[in-house]
Amino acid sequence: MLTGKAALAGVLGWPVAHSKSPQVHGYWLEEHGIDGAYVPLAVAPERFAAAVPALRDLHFRGANVTVPHKERALEICDSVDDHARRLGAVNTLIFDAAGIHGRNTDGVGFLDNLRQGAPRWSPADGPAVVLGAGGAARAVIVALMDAGVPEIRLMNRTRERAETLAETLGGPITVHAWDGWADALDGAALLVNTTSLGMTGEPPLPAELDALPPSAVVNDIVYRPLETQLLSDARARGNPVVDGLGMLLHQARPGFAAWFGVEPTVTEALRAHVLGG
């Protein structure tokens, strides 16, 4: 039950009706009996710079930021954490008396999901292969580098984009040809798909897994469908697999803790709730 003292947060996007974030945060609010609300906020790009300070003036605790506002959010914050600045994007805003503070929790969400789904995986196990060179790939690569993965092999349909990303991020990144599956997967300990290939309504991912060691973990950040063809093929050959839903759920945890004062947990009950919504 909401009162006049309710803690408020939401998600800013354009469009925003597709977002699962209200289901996630709404579940945690009810689970913990918190006097609060989390609402979808459809904000056109040309209104974003005005909308964020207005939310702070309306005593919102903060908000998540989704497409197409993540890069713009970086520019309007009074402070930004190092991770968000490296990624060039903000997905979590926190409001307080000192101003608007930006974070990016995509990398945290990725790693926490990977560790929950594949607890035996360790960054020291060996090379990671990352498919894609967009914003999600950037977050995944930075998270893997910070975790201590010794080598990251990057594959993208447009090689130039992969080379640009590798040069921008630096570190132990090597770019492999999009059709060079055997070379890229040989000896790998982790394979992560950050592209939209394999998502419902998108073309399939033309993965060739023959060279992938059976012990390597396979993660697809796509969660529509939950079991992509990549995960199905990897599971059939005995590889441990991790679906993409957990990344969405885990990246939400830091924001909820900051806004509502409770550290939530990602459970099977939460997954079922989000999948059923």
Residue from 61, 70, 138, 250 carrying the catalytic annotation: 70
Contact 12, 43 (CB under 8 A): yes
Please state, in angstroms and rounded to a whole number, the distance separating the CA atoms of residues 155 and 177: 6
Give the DSSP H/E element, type plus range, for residue 57: helix 48-57
Angstrom CA distances, 144 to 126, 210, 272, stand at: 11, 24, 28
The rounded Cα 271 to chain-centroid distance in angstroms is 16
DSSP code for 96: E
Please state, in angstroms and rounded to a whole number, the distance separating the CA atoms of residues 176 and 102: 33
Where is the binding site, in residues?
Answer: 19-21, 66, 82, 91, 106, 132-136, 156-161, 221, 223, 244, 251
* Active-site residue, 5 included: no
Where is the binding site for shikimate, in residues?
Answer: 19-21, 66, 91, 106, 223, 251
Please state, in angstroms and rounded to a whole number, the distance separating the CA atoms of residues 178 and 3: 55
Where is the binding site for NADP(+), in residues?
Answer: 82, 132-136, 156-161, 221, 244
Interacting residues of 244 by C-beta distance below 8 A, sequence separation 6+: 113, 219, 220, 221, 222, 223, 226
Nearest to 229 by CA among 195, 246, 206, 211: 206
Interacting residues of 141 by C-beta distance below 8 A, sequence separation 6+: 130, 152, 154, 165, 169, 173
Which residues are designated catalytic? 70
